[in-house]
Amino acid sequence: MALLKTYEAGEIEPVSTTADRARIAAQLDELGVRLEQVYLPGVVPDLDAAQDEIIESCRQQVNGLMQDHAFSGIDALTLHADTPDLDRIRRNCLREHCHSADEGRLILAGQALFCLRGHAGSVYALFCSPGDFILLPANVPHWFDPGRAPRLCAVRFFGEGSQYRPVDEDGPESKRPPGLDDARGQAAMPMSGLTRGRAGGRMPAAPT
């Protein structure tokens, strides 16, 4: 289940809230952003699974998305309480940035909040759950909030030669609407379950 809240610049109260997929699609289309629902196999990856294992758990879906959207690269991201260097990773996620090529995320387990910067500083805050695939066009400023105690597994998709460009100047927590943890406090969405498996999983270097 996805949920979209929109905010005027610098405001913390949303001007609109909807879980209707058609309305979400129409609002995201204002930014050129797309949200797709992907059928996932029933197997939920362990939080400590290696990237290859995570990707193989949904290989058919990943291949389809790469072909549909002409992505050239992928990796897998898991975040949880024992993730090494979690604070730094979370800060990187929260930093407003954009990319020089399209970016995609497929949520396999857990929950995340994508915030997209719209016209005149407005913010589109999209809560994503397992099966949600978000396609961000090049040069759309955004940040990604996995929560203060993340439990997340996702596949990331990259366009050819994509470059990362930070765009915020005032710090990651300034002038922003409520984050993922605030939304949970408002009972906007439940957490989706994840399991811990064996140790030794690999982590991507720069989850943004």
Which residues are at the interface with Fe ion (CB under 5 A)? 103, 208
Considering the complex, what minimum distance in angstroms separates the CB of residue 154 from Fe ion?
12
- Name the residue nearer to Fe ion (CB basis): 80 or 117: 117
Distance CA 33, CA 136 (A): 5
- Name the residue nearer to Fe ion (CB basis): 103 or 132: 103
Token reading at 34: 């797309």
191 DSSP 8-state letter: P
- Name the residue nearer to Fe ion (CB basis): 23 or 165: 165
Considering the complex, what minimum distance in angstroms separates the CB of residue 164 from Fe ion?
7
- Name the residue nearer to Fe ion (CB basis): 44 or 147: 147
User: In degrees, to the nearest 5, what angle opens at C-alpha 120 toward C-alphas 93 and 139?
Assistant: 45
- Name the residue nearer to Fe ion (CB basis): 41 or 204: 204
Distance CA 49, CA 202 (A): 7
Considering the complex, what minimum distance in angstroms separates the CB of residue 143 from Fe ion?
8
**End-to-end alpha carbon distance in the chain:** 22
Distance CA 2, CA 84 (A): 29
Helices (H), 139-202: 180-185
Name the residue number minimizing CB distance to Fe ion: 208
Considering the complex, what minimum distance in angstroms separates the CB of residue 163 from Fe ion?
11
Distance CA 119, CA 158 (A): 24
Considering the complex, what minimum distance in angstroms separates the CB of residue 142 from Fe ion?
6
At residue 103, what are phi and psi to the nearest 5 degrees? Answer: -130, 145
